[in-house]
Structure 1
Amino acid sequence: MARVPYLSEADLAPADRDMMARPINLFRALANSPGGMRRHYEFGEWIRWECELDPRLRELAILHVGYLTANAYEFSHHVEIGRRFGVTDADVDGLARFAAGEPSGLSELEDLVLAAARELTEDAGLAPSTWAALCERLPAPRVTELVIVVAFYNYVVRVLSGLDIDVEDEYLPYLDRFPLPDTRSGAPS
């Protein structure tokens, strides 16, 4: 149960109602702070539609943040969103294998993106070797965007966890198909 009320479009001032075009629980909770919701919404929209990082790489990085933090909300939502940008079930299985230290079956660049997402999530930074490898494969603007995306979604999982946002019923099947790790043991739950 969320720690704040889930608000609806009717609870918002007319100027803020556009942010409820997708009335997902995250937005309904953030609506308790319309100014905060507006900044969150605008940044998320930039990431999804204006960021020039390959959208498939972006979604793999976001999914890896959700997986590593075992955040059911973030992970389940981005399984669905990722599909719109070319992420397959086999890719999601691959990132779970990667997290377990097994060969992912993904490309070298995709593994590198997952490694960067892991380092930024777990260590709050990138190893010099990871940075150098990213810079060999991606131009500086795209590496910068990768760091921004991973940092933003680390913020998002903390908001989701801090407000205890509930996963909507329509996203629960993704969690059955792709079990999240038990963060206490590292094993899928």
Structure 2
Amino acid sequence: MALPPLPDEEWNDEVDRALARLLPAERRNRAGAGDALAVLVRHPELTRAFLGFNVHLLFGSTLDPRLRELTILRVAHRRDCAYEWHHHMKLGRAAGLTDADIAAAAGAAAADEFDRVVLGAVDELDEQSILSDATWAALGARLDDRQRMDFVFTVGCYTTLAMAFNTFGIGPEEAPLAGT
């Protein structure tokens, strides 16, 4: 791992506050948080600020959870982020994604027309940092403005996390899912 988890002896009240938005008290420790969060809390202020945003996208977003997870999986695939792929494949299944949906996020043809729009929109944002008017309108066939905003921010958030996880050397683990 390029950046190791924060050692047990360095977990303090500041780290606890950084994780409070996402984890219950009994999981705000090295073992309960898992590697990803244990690395991120090396910078507690940044982690606390970022998790506010990330928690909204996971639990307060206007996007349907299935669509959110399909979106995140496409980002994980495009960014070759094993950590995101592993964890969000599990979350995606819990949100209703099928094996075929997961394969579509990895580049297979999606059976559902709107899923194809969503996956193409992720690709557009990743390649151009903007959605075309046609894609914005196609998303608008099923999503309102707030949902489309949450979609764009979901792509951006998980692209940022993929860059961080890949750079810091954070890979899949079998620890409890923290939501990240």
TM-score range, shorter chain: 0.7 to 0.9
My pick for the range that moved more, 129-138 or 111-120, is: 129-138
Is residue 6–residue 39 contact of structure 2 (8 Å, CA) maintained in 1?
yes
My pick for the range that moved more, 15-24 or 158-167, is: 15-24
Higher RCO (C-alpha 8 Å, min separation 6): 2
Q: SS of the residue aligned with 1:6?
A: coil
Q: Of 33, 37, 42, which residue of structure 1 is paired with 2:47?
A: 37
My pick for the range that moved more, 113-122 or 89-98, is: 89-98
1:165 alignment partner in structure 2: 170
Q: Structure 1-normalised TM-score?
A: 0.79
In 1, Cα distance between equivalents of 2:5 and 2:14: 18
Cα distance change of structure 1 residues 49 and 162 upon mapping to structure 2, 3 Å threshold: same
How does 1:63-82 map onto structure 2 within 5 Å? 63-82=73-92
2:103 alignment partner in structure 1: 93
> Could you tell me how far 1:81 is from its partner in structure 2?
1.3
1:134 alignment partner in structure 2: 139
Q: Percent identity?
A: 31
1:121 alignment partner in structure 2: 126
1:12 aligns with 2:22: no
Aligned pair count reads: 165
Which residues of structure 1 form unaligned runs of 5+?
172-189
Q: Structure 2-normalised TM-score?
A: 0.82
Is residue 59–residue 82 contact of structure 1 (8 Å, CA) maintained in 2?
yes
**Where does structure 1 differ by over 3 angstroms across 4 or more consecutive aligned residues?**
none
Which residues of structure 2 form unaligned runs of 5+?
none
